[in-house]
Structure 1
Amino acid sequence: DGTYVRVNGHLQTFQSKRQLNAFSVRLVTNFDEVTCHYLECIHFHLQNSKVQSKANEGSVLASQAPDSSFGTPVRGASNGHHPASTNDFSMQYNADGLKSFDKLVLNYLQQPSN
């Protein structure tokens, strides 16, 4: 619906399944926050691309690679470290105690990626 939200949490992969632990979900009230997010995505994409190209040349040790947990996952895309999966979440969550806006966010996150 054209509404932006900030979700703080951890995205983890275990046995090729992704799990999202969201600590907070809030509305974005200042569009500068969205712009800053896009700039961060570009920065980390370029940083990861540079590390990958150097790794292909054999000049970078794996311990020097940046932590990929800072990257922002894109639905249905790969960030170069984890392959895209058909569904980012392996289980459905009970949303009975959530507010209506939180339910919208949860429903969006549970959509299959196509």
Structure 2
Amino acid sequence: MGWVSLRYMLPKLLCVGLKPGMSKAQNVVAMTVGQILRCPGGEITVENRPVAIIVLIGQTKQEPELTDEAIVKVVGHFKEFQGRKSLMAITFRICASYNELTCHMLEVMYTPLKLKQIQMKDLEKSGISHQAEGALPNSIIAPLMDRGSTAGGFTPNQQRVHAIIANSSDEMGIHKDDIVRQCQGIINKREIESILQMMTSEGHIFSTVDDDTFKSTDA
């Protein structure tokens, strides 16, 4: 299953070895704790492809604001430091219902099946690249977001907002009001708030000093 007591499993996940030369994949992938622990050689991969950001659903007993045995959704980001990878929990929240656990497990099953399908098409085309050389889908709903999207799966407006956040030089990130000012006349406030919510839930950005100040996970 995709949920176990993170109290016992997280210490094993916080420092995972990285082979020299492995590039960082830009994707958000649903996984289980068991999948991570079974990755050979300490590499976090799905179908031999490196994963940068994962989504876990598990039980926690360590956070005082949460009740015991609560089921939570965790979005984490892997970063390289001195030749090793560390799992940084970006956000986590209590799951509203068991439907989220069901959806998570569907994503866990979908990702390797989708990769196998891509690999089979690549073989049929005799090595011709397909779908960005078999890049990992950003989520189970990624195919529904292709229309009007740009490189990285972002629409032009999403790409603009993400670039503003990623280019911020402030260590604490950039406030939502500053983003609105920089997008004045181009993107309205309501759409910016929707974009920020989507990027936070997908693990592209995270809040820092308050709920309205954001920093890019790529920074």
Return the TM-score normalized by structure 2. 0.26
Q: Going by fraction, where is strand more abundant, 1 or 2?
A: 2
**Greater relative contact order (CA < 8 Å, ≥ 6 in sequence):** 1
| Bigger-Rg structure (1/2) | 2
